Amino acid sequence: MANPLRGWVYVLSNQAMPGLLKVGYSMNDPVIRAKQLAGTGIPQKFVLEFDLLVHQPKELEKKLHKALLQYSAGREFFRIQLQEAVKIINAVLIKSEIKPLACYSHLPLSELLNGQNLGDPISARVRQPAEPIAPQRANPCGICGQNTWPTDSRCGYCFALL
């Protein structure tokens, strides 16, 4: 039986490591994961560049690491541009027939993919970040309109980064 757990596969960057991307998975929100990594002795904070909410994130991460092997800089780090990494991620999703539940990128999809329309599965799932919410009260999510709370980092309905 397949593992029904869902989690995130993410791509992080760090100014202290130019040209490198960290591709990993977490059962927690990748925003939280990036903050956890800040305490690992690296002088700059990690920046969430891209993420996917999927079922069986650990298995997808293994497939992605295999597909990115030629770019490996050790462990979960790869010497690759974000646009190229996303193209490879999309190809692995298509080949594996994995459909992401949600996707985040702070860049418009057209810019992220250099104007190429790769189609399913990423194109249909990208959600751009919502406007920041007011700290005193709940506001609707900028993507789906569901109410969010000031302490939320993601919408509980569509998983858009707030």
Q: What are the tens digits of pLDDT across the range 10-43?
A: 999 999 899 999 999 998 888 888 888 876 677 7
Low pLDDT (below 50) residues in the chain = 1-3, 117-121, 123-137
* Residue 23 pLDDT: 96
For the chain, give every domain's residue range.
6-128, 129-162
CB-based contact 160:141 (threshold 8 Å): yes
Q: How far apart are CA 6 and CA 104, in angstroms?
A: 15
In this prediction the pTM is: 0.69
* Residue 118 pLDDT: 45
Tell whether the torsion through CA atoms of 109, 111, 112 and 114 is positive or negative: positive
